[in-house]
Amino acid sequence: MKTVTLQYGSGQVAIEVPDSADVLCGGEFSPLSDPDGQINHSLKEPIGSAPLSQLADGKKDAAIVVSDNTRPVPYKPPDGILAPIVETLKRTGINNIKIIVGCGTHRPMEKTELHQILGDAAFQQGVEIINHSAGDSEMLTCIGHTERTPEVTVNKYYMGAQLKIITGLVEPHFMAGFSGGRKAICPGICGLSVTYGFHSASILNDNNATTLVLKGNPCHEEALRIAKMAGADFSVNVTINSDRNITGVFSGDMEQSHLAAVENLKPFVTIELDKLYDVVITQAGDVGVNHYQCAKAVYETTRAVKPGGRMVLLAGFSDPDQIGSDNYRKMLCLLASLGPEDFVQRILSDEWSFVPDQWEVQMWAKAFQKLDNPKNLYTCAARLENCSKDLIPETNVASQIKRSPGEDDLHFTERIAQERIDELVRSAPNAKILVLPDGPYAIPVFSKT
């Protein structure tokens, strides 16, 4: 047996796997030697744009879109991107700065969470923080329409700002190809009607609405179309490695800087496979704050699993809501009752009325179609121990194994994951096993040729 470490929230767990198991990671992505200097350099010499200070000159106010807790964007010091942006604006005389948290349809962030995410730069005189609310009509303004979206609504504070700045993290995204760039606007600060179109069943049923694909991806194309309608004067995006250190800063024109980040990132986030595996073990990464977000890791990992294979997922579930919204819970129950194939057909039918958060459950359905049975997924997350087994259409390991007195979340998760892995090894001693330590940040790609 050999030991492999996997990320679990801000810590790590150690698991034992057979010596024959493959352990595959993405490429080694070296951190910047001087991230703070590179951030400031990118603001002064951006891609396809004038420097930020020049764009800010003469402006009275600015809006900066930031990500919520589902993206580990390095905003706060040391080596954070937010303070250099705010300092640049203030040096040019802008003292009315609105930081808009691009929550999309996610819950609003609490003040303590925002301070933890953003640091002191967001809590100073002349800076106001606003949680975007996609369902609050008073916070939205209509800017037109697209072929897919009859009414495009965007945060009014963003649209009313003289200088509009977006920020984010570029990483693989299981619907839009890559995160970052245009996604700060769509769906980050759009209204529900936009989100519904962007996440419609027909868009997500398209084979090109998937990871690593931008060209021909309807999800990406709609987001970019709407982001261009809203406009962004300046964009600051970063890439990071598994240690959450900055590996690249890409500032400037929204589209050009995003594409530069994507091209720089691609070689490091692809794992070439020459076979599929009976059992794949992985972790949900920083994105795995709750069950809703874990769909990303599961969907990506099914690329490496044989049809009918098994998957073991470790997840930290740091969010106060371990599952997701009421709509998400209801859609999970529908998936459990109908099964993956019938669920997808139901939401694609003309008679179906769109339900918020159905998109994430649609991606679960795609994953379960590959696994053949939801029970072939073993989710090891300590904070699910008191969740109803009927709610989650998969094997919730934490609800089946009793926690030892005084056992913390990390060690409980480590133990239940090891028990499940040992059981799988005993039941199929010749099974081909793969461990993916990078979780959803390195995408397995299988080529039959």
How many C-beta atoms lie closer than 10 Å to residue 379's C-beta?
27
259: Cβ–Cβ under 8 A, 6 or more apart, which residues?
Answer: 214
Could you report the per-residue pLDDT of 134-144, keeping only the tens digit for each?
A: 999 999 999 99
Q: Please indicate whether the domains covering 2-27+269-446 and 35-267 agree at the CATH topology level.
A: no
Pairwise CA distance, residues 369 & 226, whole Å: 32
Could you report the per-residue pLDDT of 412-436, keeping only the tens digit for each?
A: 999 999 999 999 999 999 999 999 9
CATH fold for the domain made of 2-27+269-446: 2-enoyl-CoA Hydratase; Chain A, domain 1 (3.90.226)
Where do the structural domains in the chain lie, given as residue ranges? 2-27+269-446, 35-267
Average pLDDT, the chain: 94
Decide if pLDDT at 229 tops 60: yes
Could you report the per-residue pLDDT of 36-66, keeping only the tens digit for each?
A: 999 999 999 999 999 999 999 999 999 999 9
Nearest-CA neighbor of 144 among 209, 203, 190?
190
Asked if residue 279 lies in contact with residue 434, where contact means CB atoms within 8 angstroms, the answer is: yes
How many C-beta atoms lie closer than 10 Å to residue 389's C-beta?
12
CATH 3.40.50.150, domain 35-267, yes or no: no
pTM, two decimal places? 0.88
Give the per-residue pLDDT at 309: 96
Give the per-residue pLDDT at 193: 87
Length of the chain equals 449
Give the per-residue pLDDT at 226: 97
- Backbone torsion region of residue 45, taken as left when φ is above 0, otherwise alpha when ψ lies between -120 and 50, otherwise beta: beta
Give the per-residue pLDDT at 449: 52
Pairwise CA distance, residues 167 & 65, whole Å: 6
Mean pLDDT of 70-85: 94
Asked if residue 386 lies in contact with residue 403, where contact means CB atoms within 8 angstroms, the answer is: no
Give the per-residue pLDDT at 242: 78
Give the per-residue pLDDT at 44: 98
Pairwise CA distance, residues 297 & 291, whole Å: 10
pLDDT exceeding 90 applies to what percent of the chain? 86
Could you report the per-residue pLDDT of 169-200, keeping only the tens digit for each?
A: 999 999 999 999 999 999 999 999 898 888 89
Mean pLDDT of 249-263: 98
